[in-house]
Amino acid sequence: MNIPEPTVLAAIAVLLCLIFKLLNLTSQPQIPKIFSKDKNFVANLLKACPLLVQPYIPTRLWGYNGHIQTVVHSIIGRVRCPWPIGERIELRLKDGSTLTYDVYQPVYKGSEDITLVIVPGICNSSESVYVRTFVHYSQCHGFRCAVLNHIGALSSVPLSSSRIFTYGYTSDLGAMLNHLNEKYSSSKLVCIGYSMGGNTVAKYLGEEETNRPSNIIGGISICQGYDIIKGTKLLLQWQNFRRLYLYAITEAMKAIILRNRNILLSEEAKKKYNLIEKEVASAATLPELDDSYTRKVYNYPSLSSLYKWSSSCNYIKTINIPMIYINSLDDPLVPEELLTPMRDFANQQDNVAYIEVSHGGHLGFYEGGAIYPNPISWLDRLLLDVVTSIDTYNQKPTNCSNCI
């Protein structure tokens, strides 16, 4: 029998070690951690969410690697994704912008009339695969869904003003919610935001707003970074390949701007906002793009002032309805340095819970199978339970210490 040379055996051993390290195969499923000051709030949450008292088990071969979860999510989204049929609503805003959102009715009438107001991540819309999957899943469980289409994200909807969406601009969400409230005044509203959309939801709910619909019963924020100033500095580093993710986001944003250059970079727009097209087109990072375009369009004197205004961490203390924040520790776009303040914040606030999951990447949270994941993610299943917990919590008598 031929025995391989020691060098060959050593090379095989090193290769296997690298594969195990890359796929993180030695990791074990972990029960999500919950940070909250409010014991009644947490007890109600755990009662409605059995997934929070048992380990989250990612797809076996690759689900323990946050990078792979993130890349699979960004390229594929979800497997066997349906295409739910909805009604597109078009609004003309005061600044001349055309805002659209899509409404999807429940497959059957649930015990409660609840509308899930979904705010997608950066450059995403109702046509994004993960949004469509969650919408269809929600419809089948008796929920109405309304999805905000970020201005500029849909190529099929022409721009009618010289701006697109940005991180901290919540007026589009506000206009959608007010219009939605007129259509479904008896429905309870729960706002759900993914990544940038999570920042938008949290900021909107924490801002001083006199005409906010009173039937918003809670909010859910998923995989956001909370502090854009600190987060941008971390994304500019090469550690954990963050700079590559920043490059991808920058190119996606720049593609929307350049696709609509006849409006966004018209001679009139360039004169009005002091834009230099060459600087916009050559921007290599998101801060460069925001400095050459976004801050000027939204009238901010500096990049730091734009990012401070945009960051939800500066608004969340004043949210006065139940709020759930969800993040994963292996999210390559949201380093743990951004999550530590949220643990402290949740431990000091009522009606707030911060859920921290060991795995899941950025918006991935795939589960099931050795290679091929389930069509419905762990996150999809959790979100509906969280919505139920928010609804039941709001129905309990106030100032009742024994209501759980």
First-to-last alpha carbon distance for the chain, in angstroms, is 69
| CB neighbour list of residue 333: distance below 8 Å, 6 or more residues apart | 70, 195, 223, 225, 235, 242, 245, 362
Distances (CA, A) of 5 to 9, 349, 388: 6, 62, 61
Closest alpha carbon to 189 in 380, 44, 387, 392: 387
- DSSP 3-state of 5: coil
pLDDT computed for residue 80 by the predictor: 85
- Whether residue 402 is predicted with pLDDT greater than 50 in this model: the reply is no
- Whether residue 17 is predicted with pLDDT greater than 60 in this model: the reply is no
Instruction: Give 52-115 as a DSSP string.
Output: GGS-B---TTTTT-HHHHHHHHHHT-STT------EEEEEE-TTS-EEEEEEE--SS--SS-EE
Percent of the chain whose pLDDT exceeds 70 = 92
On whether the CB atoms of residues 264 and 294 are closer than 8 A, the answer is no
Query: What per-residue string of b and e applies to 127-141 under the rule 16 or more CB within 10 Å gives b?
Result: bbbbbbbbbbbbbee
Mean pLDDT across 127-139: 97
Report the run of H or E that residue 117 belongs to, with start and end: strand 114-119
Marked catalytic residue, from 312, 362, 380, 391: 362
More confident residue, 6 or 207: 207
Percent of the chain whose pLDDT exceeds 90 = 86
Tens digit of each residue's pLDDT (9 = 90 or more) over 298-345: 999 999 999 999 999 999 999 999 999 999 999 999 999 999 999 999
More confident residue, 8 or 263: 263
Tens digit of each residue's pLDDT (9 = 90 or more) over 155-212: 999 999 999 999 999 999 999 999 999 999 999 999 999 999 999 999 999 998 778 9
Question: What whole-number distance in Å separates Cα of residue 257 and Cα of residue 254?
Answer: 5
Neighbours of 13 (CB within 10 A): 10
Tens digit of each residue's pLDDT (9 = 90 or more) over 51-90: 999 999 999 999 999 999 999 999 888 988 999 999 999 9
Marked catalytic residue, from 172, 290, 330, 331: 331
Mean pLDDT, all residues of the chain: 92
Closest alpha carbon to 113 in 177, 181, 61, 60: 181
Q: Is 380 a catalytic residue?
A: no
pLDDT computed for residue 88 by the predictor: 98
Tens digit of each residue's pLDDT (9 = 90 or more) over 244-302: 999 999 999 999 999 999 999 999 999 999 999 999 999 999 999 999 999 999 999 99
State the pTM of this model.
0.93
Question: What whole-number distance in Å separates Cα of residue 333 and Cα of residue 371?
Answer: 24
How far out from the chain centre does Cα 81 lie? 19
Question: What whole-number distance in Å separates Cα of residue 249 and Cα of residue 253?
Answer: 6
Question: What whole-number distance in Å separates Cα of residue 217 and Cα of residue 214?
Answer: 8
pLDDT computed for residue 170 by the predictor: 97
Lowest mean pLDDT among 67-76, 140-149, 222-231: 67-76
Sign of CA dihedral 208, 320, 105, 364: positive
Q: What pLDDT band is residue 404 in, cutting at 50, 70 and 90?
A: very low
Sign of CA dihedral 195, 197, 200, 206: negative
Instruction: Give 306-335 as a DSSP string.
Output: HHHHH-GGGTGGG--S-EEEEEETT-TTS-
Marked catalytic residue, from 36, 97, 195, 292: 195
* Residue 121: CA count within 13 A, CB half-sphere: 19
pLDDT computed for residue 177 by the predictor: 98
Hey, what are 243's tokens?
């700079």
On whether the CB atoms of residues 130 and 78 are closer than 8 A, the answer is yes
- DSSP 3-state of 368: coil
Question: What whole-number distance in Å separates Cα of residue 57 and Cα of residue 239?
Answer: 27
Q: Is 391 a catalytic residue?
A: no
Q: Exposed/middle/buried for 85, CB within 10 Å: 0-12, 13-18, 19+?
A: exposed
Query: What per-residue string of b and e applies to 384-399 under the rule 16 or more CB within 10 Å gives b?
Result: bbbbbbbbebbeeeee
Q: What pLDDT band is residue 384 in, cutting at 50, 70 and 90?
A: very high
Mean pLDDT across 19-36: 80
pLDDT computed for residue 403 by the predictor: 42
Q: What pLDDT band is residue 230 in, cutting at 50, 70 and 90?
A: very high
Mean pLDDT across 218-237: 97
Distances (CA, A) of 313 to 99, 141, 200, 253, 337: 26, 33, 11, 23, 14
pLDDT computed for residue 400 by the predictor: 46
Question: What whole-number distance in Å separates Cα of residue 111 and Cα of residue 332?
Answer: 39
pLDDT computed for residue 211 by the predictor: 84
- Whether residue 15 is predicted with pLDDT greater than 60 in this model: the reply is no
pLDDT computed for residue 6 by the predictor: 54
Q: Is 331 a catalytic residue?
A: yes
pLDDT computed for residue 205 by the predictor: 97
On whether the CB atoms of residues 375 and 133 are closer than 8 A, the answer is yes
Mean pLDDT across 142-156: 97
